[in-house]
Amino acid sequence: MGLLLDNGRVLRDRIGDAIFSRVAGPDGPENRARIHDAPGPRWFGPERPVRQVHADASMFTGGLSALLLQSLHPLAMAAVAGHSGFRGDPWGRLQRTSTFLAMTTYGPADSVQRAVDRVRAVHETVHGTTPDGQEYSAADPHLLCWVHIAEVDSFLRAHQRFGARPLDAAGCDAYVEDMARIATALGVPDPPTNRAELTDRLAAYRSELRATPEARSTARFLLLNPPVPVLARLPYGALAAGAVSLLPVWASRALWLPRAPLAEDVFVRPLGTAVTAVIRWALAPGERARRGQEDRLPGPGQGTAG
């Protein structure tokens, strides 16, 4: 029995280390120490819902769903396609974004402000014109708001469906309120501070949303041709199916993504829950905690970190 337990711990740590290295990158251990071990006040105390949500493995599914939803704004999609380099270096973009998300959620306040200032400076350099002549800027407050609300809605939906400890109604409102603080710092005017406001704000953008060829191409890239090892394709597929199931029906239809409610209930949700549980198990402290190396970076929440 002891040998089996030891082998299980070794397997868990190997899987967890592989996931962490992909999400956090080569600077992951250094960033982890800079975020979690540095002294000083934080934006969010340990009791805040944002810390619970962003620490859960459901963020992997929420991040994918956020990217799909965000792509439906043509100007946001144009900015990503033209400037983010997500196709050429998808893991690099994921690592930058997850580090930013971890910093704002868990890091010391002075480091958080520096990270926010860097992101805002990058946004000022991202601008251009779409093929149909519309100008866009990543610093546009209206566009920033869309990216923010799509992200918050996706993260929260994923946590409520696949998270280990779903929030109650008050917790959901508090999570939206927590995220509003980050959004305000990034230049979003009057972000929603509760779930009802979030729902209303999403509805207000509906008339601006459509699936461009680039958005559908991005969906195919994320769902059918992901840059993951062969052995990871099956669990990734379960997460991807879960991400699609979180989308509003109108959004999945716009992206030409098939939906089958019965299949989602019978297969997608149980598989997504199982894979998320395995990731959560693999990222449990285990040997890393005993070595003083607890993994505390969140999953791939795709936000505004460039």
**Is 213 within a domain?**
yes
Check pLDDT > 50 for residue 254: yes
Q: Classify strands 135-137 and 127-129 as parallel, antiparallel or unpaired.
A: antiparallel
Taking all residues of the chain, what is their mean pLDDT, rounded to a whole number? 88
3-state SS assignment for residue 262 = helix
- Any idea which of 25-34, 254-263, 264-273 has the lowest mean pLDDT? 25-34
pLDDT score of 157: 98
Counting Cβ atoms within 10 Å, is residue 87 exposed (0-12), middle (13-18) or buried (19+)? middle
Q: What is the mean pLDDT of residues 37-62?
A: 96
**Domain assignment present for 299:** no
Mean pLDDT of 169-176: 99
* Lowest mean pLDDT across 28-32, 66-70, 140-144, 211-215: 28-32
Question: In this structure, is residue 113 part of a structural domain?
Answer: yes
Residue 123 tokens, joined = 């946004």
**Residue range 280-292: average pLDDT?**
64
Which residue type is seen at 229?
A: P
Tokens of 190: 């009057």
DSSP secondary structure letters along 42-58: BSS-TTSHHHHHHHSTT
Tell me whether residue 266 is in a domain.
yes
Q: Is the pLDDT of residue 193 over 80?
A: yes
CB 154, CB 66: distance < 8 Å: yes
What is the number of domains present in the chain? 1
Residue 34 predicted with pLDDT over 60: yes
- What element of type H or E holds 155? helix 141-162
Residue at 228 is within a domain: yes
* Whether pLDDT at 182 is above 50: yes
Residue 305 lies in a domain: no
Is 5 domain-assigned? no
- Phi-psi bin for 85: left (phi > 0), alpha (psi -120 to 50), beta? left
The answer to the question of residue 296 being in a domain is: no
85: pLDDT strictly greater than 90: no
Owning domain of residue 101: 13-290
Query: What is the rounded radius of gyration, in angstroms, for the C-alpha atoms of the chain?
Result: 19
Q: Which pTM was predicted?
A: 0.89
- CA atoms of 29 and 118, how far apart (whole Å): 21
